[in-house]
A and B are shown apart, each in its own frame.
Chain A
Amino acid sequence: MLLSVDHVTRYFYDQPVRGVVQSHRLMPSQCAGQKLVTWKVSVSDGQMGGGFRDGAGDWVQGWTVLGPVNEITVRVTGQIETVDMAGVLRGHKELTPPEAYLRSTHPTEADAALAALADGLTPAQDALAAAHDISARVSDAIVYTSDTTNAHTTAAEALAQGTGVCQDQAHAVIAIARHIGLPARYVSGYLLVGVDGAAAEAAHAWAEVFISGLGWVGFDPANRCCPDDRYIRLGSGLDSPHAAMIRGIARGQGEESLDVSVTVQASQTQSQTQQ
């Protein structure tokens, strides 16, 4: 499928700031099923800094903006050809050993309730089936509901209240998978939001679980499926903060506010915009 992306992030400062430093994970992963046609990242008044491919295969790009500025716009535009790989990450060069993704972090800490969701799973016999079960159980236990959680909500908190968004569901899958010894990680990317009313936004997140013999396999509890050709994979990390598309810090006193819009469209015929 040919997907077009337009992702605009605007930062506003109520007082001018002296400068801004950002670190981006905004380049689509180099893997089978993702072929770039065009791709461009721009930062208003920005100077491109150092860039490198990290151990997880992500392209990380530094940017700096010299102030004083009141407003910064980060814009990603591009077109990419995608193929349904049934969720399996193939042809992706990375060096970080899967074991490094067994380490738990604050948002992915498994409490007793998360651990209980792993009851009866037998990863030693069939890891893939166990991972599918985890994803399905999370979809049921944390019902996709907007505006009930925030960026700092942990998997345990989301499960306790029974609602959350893709970030919370992905954190929960990761927490449970690691709890039963399966390496798992957080993936950030884009999603073509279909006309079928799928519960998700165009800036999306899901989980990957490492299945011995198969490699990293994606699971999207928000849509009860594995990533297919509607998905664009950008970067990964131990949890949401580690996999963030944009990290930034402003020098100065100004209070920051944010406006994000992401549009993912399929080759002129289907389209969907999310504000």
Chain B
Amino acid sequence: MTSYFNEMYQGSAVRAPYARLQDWMTAMPAELRQMKQAEAEALFRRIGITFAVYGEGGDPDRLIPFDMFPRVFSGAEWAKLDRGIKQRARALNAFLVDVYGRGEIVRAGRIPGRLVYLNEAYEKSVVGFVPPKGVYSHIVGIDLVRTGPDEFFVLEDNCRTPSGVSYMLENREIMMRMFPDLFRENRIEPVDSYPEILRRTLASVAPAKCDRDPTVVILTPGHFNSAYYEHSFLADLMGVELVEGQDLFVEGEFVFMRTTEGPRRVDVIYRRLDDAYIDPLCFRPDSMLGIPGLMDVYRSGGVSICSAPGAGVADDKAVYTYVPEMIRFYLGEEPILKNVPTWQCGKEDDCKYVLSNLKDLVVKEVHGSGGYGMLVGPKASADQVEMFRARITANPHNYIAQPTLALSTTPTFVAEGVAPRHVDLRPYCLVGERIELVPGGLTRVALTEGSLVVNSSQGGGVKDTWVLAE
């Protein structure tokens, strides 16, 4: 029987960051809790924050369940996470500039060239380009799990367009509205500066040819996209235009946006669209979502694209294994946050080990995301295990495996009252002229008892995440 670290308790004693929540929890009668939960749901509905789930069908306007029990970090705990996350974001960006440049890390034999240059996410079309301020990934979402008081592991890095930050902001907003007392009794670091810092970060990477106050836009695939709410929410909070591909066009050396007052030049595009779709001239010719000619403008310094095309090669699950090596190579530092030990099925020995230990491992697709195409060995049926065995054998390079981590739990409101449920954390690190991290992030919680899968697409919920001021 695995034991799990409960972030609120140490034995029967309440850990310091949660001290005041103990009274709050015990003082809340069941009726009040149900009333508040209904109120929270009504608020989320009114705001319109919903999340369509790929491949599940059903109600596209489904709410992600919100759990009112906050997840709390002490100032000291956060200080370490803050350093570790920023360190990682710096190293990932240094790696990207390097592998699209001289590839020193490959030449030095610290990462296999094949893993980088044969990677589907390696974008040949940007080789030789250094984006403004040397930043490829401007919003780095780093997924963390905790296994003990001082034990944190990075589960994966998201260097392209990590989503979910609107939940970080909305969860806080709603908690403050429903429980104003809690925010008087606890000194909680604010997160509401995120949109302004994001805007500043994006403006700070304006292209070489921009000689004025940069115009920033958010490029969305459109309202059918599952994260459309977030795109419009962030545009709103930053005070920038939300555009679709058809609203933008290339003329001469620049990109313009159609407005009621005529064309307006655009300097920075925060795109929430995959590389393959942003320019049909350069990438998928069948894409109706992109802007023809965008890449030529980008590469000649007429517009910035965030995240930079090609950033995905740094967050690939096979490349992930080498992030600690990147930190040592580029920064000359020891990694502050640990990687989860990872077996690459593409390596013969690793594959052998994985196939004979499937029942104990978590298996993931190298390019998968959202908890799809994943096997949690200890929870899987014999059929599922055999299905994965066949898949791995057929295409070993497509899979990695990790030990089943003993994810920490935090108290969570459930039908019977309060019970521990497993959580992870995704903070959003912003990288531009400066590197900044809002104290907080998105805590996802596996609402099903015993479940270790926190993805919203697999029945996960969200919580407000507190960082206490020291």
Chain A positions near chain B (C-beta within 8 angstroms)? 19, 21-23, 47-56, 60-62, 64, 66, 95-97, 99-100, 102-103, 238, 241-242, 247-249, 251
Q: Is the CB of A49 within 8 A of B253?
A: yes
- Given A49-B253, A249-B280, A23:B293 Cβ within 8 A: yes
Choose from B102, B125, B281 the contact partner of A54 (Cβ within 8 Å): B125
Whole-angstrom distance from the CB of B269 to the nearest CB of chain A? Answer: 15
Query: Cβ of B298: which chain A residues have Cβ within 8 Å of it?
Result: 50
Q: Which of B31-39, B112-120, B171-179 contacts A (4 or more CB under 8 A)?
A: B112-120
- Given A238-B124, A249-B280, A62:B250 Cβ within 8 A: yes
B282 to A, closest residue via Cβ: A23
The interface bits of chain B over 261-295 (1 if a CB of A lies within 8 angstroms of the residue's CB, else 0) are 00000000000000000001110010000001101
Q: Is the CB of A47 within 8 A of B252?
A: yes
* B122 interface residue per 8 A CB criterion: yes
Q: Is the CB of A97 within 8 A of B128?
A: no
Query: Cβ of B253: which chain A residues have Cβ within 8 Å of it?
Result: 48-50, 62
Q: Is the CB of B126 within 8 A of A55?
A: yes
- Given A50-B299, A249-B281, A99:B114 Cβ within 8 A: yes
A249 to B, closest residue via Cβ: B292
- Given A50-B301, A99-B118, A23:B296 Cβ within 8 A: yes
Q: Is the CB of B103 within 8 A of A66?
A: no
Whole-angstrom distance from the CB of A125 to the nearest CB of chain B? Answer: 22
A241→B284 CA distance, assembly (Å): 11
Q: Tally of A-B residue pairs with Cβ under 8 A?
A: 104
Query: Cβ of A55: which chain B residues have Cβ within 8 Å of it?
Result: 100, 124-129
Q: Is the CB of B299 within 8 A of A52?
A: yes
A263→B159 CA distance, assembly (Å): 48
- Given A64-B251, A249-B281, A49:B128 Cβ within 8 A: no
Q: A21-B281, A97-B103, A102-B114 are in contact. List 14 more A-B contacts (CB 8 A).
A: A47-B252, A50-B300, A52-B129, A52-B296, A54-B299, A62-B250, A62-B293, A62-B296, A64-B293, A66-B251, A95-B101, A95-B127, A247-B281, A249-B280
Q: Is the CB of B300 within 8 A of A52?
A: yes
Query: Cβ of A64: which chain B residues have Cβ within 8 Å of it?
Result: 250-252, 293
Query: Cβ of A102: which chain B residues have Cβ within 8 Å of it?
Result: 114, 117-118
A183 to B, closest residue via Cβ: B117
* B106 interface residue per 8 A CB criterion: yes
Query: Cβ of B100: which chain A residues have Cβ within 8 Å of it?
Result: 55
Query: Cβ of A23: which chain B residues have Cβ within 8 Å of it?
Result: 281-282, 293, 295-296
Choose from A19, A60, A96, A248 the contact partner of B249 (Cβ within 8 Å): A19
* B377 interface residue per 8 A CB criterion: no
Q: Is the CB of B251 within 8 A of A47?
A: yes
A53→B125 CA distance, assembly (Å): 11
Query: Cβ of A47: which chain B residues have Cβ within 8 Å of it?
Result: 251-252
A247→B293 CA distance, assembly (Å): 10
Query: Cβ of A248: which chain B residues have Cβ within 8 Å of it?
Result: 281
Q: Is the CB of B296 within 8 A of A49?
A: yes
A23→B281 CA distance, assembly (Å): 7
Choose from B102, B117, B249, B297 the contact partner of A62 (Cβ within 8 Å): B297
Query: Cβ of A251: which chain B residues have Cβ within 8 Å of it?
Result: 249, 292
Q: Which of B121-137 contact A (CB under 8 A)?
A: 122, 124-129
* B302 interface residue per 8 A CB criterion: yes
The secondary structure that dominates the B interface is: loop
- Given A55-B100, A100-B122, A247-B281, A60:B299 Cβ within 8 A: yes
Choose from B113, B129, B282, B300 the contact partner of A97 (Cβ within 8 Å): B113
Q: Which of B325-376 contact A (CB under 8 A)?
A: none
The interface bits of chain B over 78-107 (1 if a CB of A lies within 8 angstroms of the residue's CB, else 0) are 000000000000000000000011110010
| Closest 5 pairs (CB-CB, A-B) | A55-B127, A50-B300, A62-B296, A21-B293, A55-B128
- Given A23-B293, A62-B293, A64-B293, A49:B300 Cβ within 8 A: yes
Whole-angstrom distance from the CB of A95 to the nearest CB of chain B? Answer: 5
A24 to B, closest residue via Cβ: B296
- Given A21-B293, A23-B293, A54:B128 Cβ within 8 A: yes
Query: What are 7 A-B residue pairs whose CB atoms fall within 8 Å in the complex?
Result: A22-B281, A49-B250, A49-B251, A51-B300, A54-B299, A247-B281, A251-B292
Query: Cβ of A241: which chain B residues have Cβ within 8 Å of it?
Result: 285
A225→B103 CA distance, assembly (Å): 34
Query: Cβ of A22: which chain B residues have Cβ within 8 Å of it?
Result: 281, 293
A251→B288 CA distance, assembly (Å): 11
Q: Is the CB of A95 within 8 A of B102?
A: yes
Whole-angstrom distance from the CB of B249 to the nearest CB of chain A? Answer: 7
Q: Is the CB of A96 within 8 A of B124?
A: yes
A61→B297 CA distance, assembly (Å): 9
Whole-angstrom distance from the CB of B257 to the nearest CB of chain A? Answer: 15
The interface bits of chain B over 42-86 (1 if a CB of A lies within 8 angstroms of the residue's CB, else 0) are 000000000000000000000000000000000000000000000
A62→B279 CA distance, assembly (Å): 13
Query: Cβ of A56: which chain B residues have Cβ within 8 Å of it?
Result: 124, 127
A64 to B, closest residue via Cβ: B251
Whole-angstrom distance from the CB of B278 to the nearest CB of chain A? Answer: 13
Whole-angstrom distance from the CB of A107 to the nearest CB of chain B? Answer: 14
Q: Is the CB of A50 within 8 A of B281?
A: no
Query: Cβ of B128: which chain A residues have Cβ within 8 Å of it?
Result: 53-55, 95-96
Query: Cβ of B280: which chain A residues have Cβ within 8 Å of it?
Result: 249
Q: Is the CB of A62 within 8 A of B127?
A: no
B209 to A, closest residue via Cβ: A50
A238→B53 CA distance, assembly (Å): 35
Q: Is the CB of B117 within 8 A of A97?
A: yes
Query: Cβ of A19: which chain B residues have Cβ within 8 Å of it?
Result: 249, 251
B252 to A, closest residue via Cβ: A47
A56→B123 CA distance, assembly (Å): 12
B302 to A, closest residue via Cβ: A50
Whole-angstrom distance from the CB of A29 to the nearest CB of chain B? Answer: 15
A99→B299 CA distance, assembly (Å): 23
A241 to B, closest residue via Cβ: B285
Query: Cβ of B296: which chain A residues have Cβ within 8 Å of it?
Result: 23, 49-52, 60-62
A166→B365 CA distance, assembly (Å): 39
A55→B252 CA distance, assembly (Å): 22
Q: Is the CB of A48 within 8 A of B252?
A: yes
Query: Cβ of A54: which chain B residues have Cβ within 8 Å of it?
Result: 125, 127-128, 299
A19→B249 CA distance, assembly (Å): 10
